[in-house]
């Protein structure tokens, strides 16, 4: 499956690195903005609009970050990806809570539920994406 950036439609391997890296679309967005240029305001009067399809965990994360930071549109894209990871972590936590943290394997051995690793990976990706979304840009530093 080919993965493309929702902001610039370029191919990527890791979205957090693509959006915050020196050669990613965040760098392209900075290159297109010139000093003294007025950036168009976001639709909700300076605040990014909440995506409609976020789950409860993603919506809480969105509200917390947007309430604390003033984000550019490309940072909003990174934040949206982080909110989706929060929703994945919450879904994995629900699956683990329903079945228990340990399962019995086909040979009778005790195994850790795969949702434990999925939740851990989603939280790690979420933390990296939030850090990338809230990091100060070169213009603000």
Rounded CA separation 119/10 (Å): 28
The number of folded domains in the chain is 1
Model confidence over 20-66: pLDDT tens digits? 665 566 555 555 544 444 444 444 445 678 888 899 999 999 999 98
> How is residue 7 written in tokens?
């902001």
Percent share of the chain, pLDDT over 70: 68
39 part of a folded domain: no
Give a yes or no: residue 89 inside a domain: yes
Structural domain for 120, as ranges = 48-134
Residues 6+ apart with CB under 8 A from 40: none
Biggest distance spanned by C-alpha atoms of the chain? 67
Task: Report the DSSP beta bridge partners of residue 11.
Answer: 4
């Amino acid at each position: 499956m080919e993965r493309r950036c929702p902001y610039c439609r370029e191919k990527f391997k890791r979205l957090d690195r693509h959006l915050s890296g020196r050669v990613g679309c965040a760098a392209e967005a900075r290159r297109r903005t010139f000093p003294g240029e007025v950036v168009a305001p976001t639709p909700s009067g300076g605040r990014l609009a909440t995506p409609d399809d976020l789950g409860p965990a993603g919506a809480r994360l969105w509200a917390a970050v947007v309430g604390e930071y003033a984000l550019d549109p490309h940072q909003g894209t990174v934040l949206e990806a982080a909110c989706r990871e929060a929703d994945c972590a919450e879904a994995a936590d629900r699956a683990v809570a329903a079945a228990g943290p340990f399962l019995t394997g086909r040979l009778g051995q005790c195994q850790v539920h795969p949702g434990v690793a999925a939740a851990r990976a989603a939280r790690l990706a979420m933390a990296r994406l939030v850090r990338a979304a809230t990091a100060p840009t070169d213009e603000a530093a």
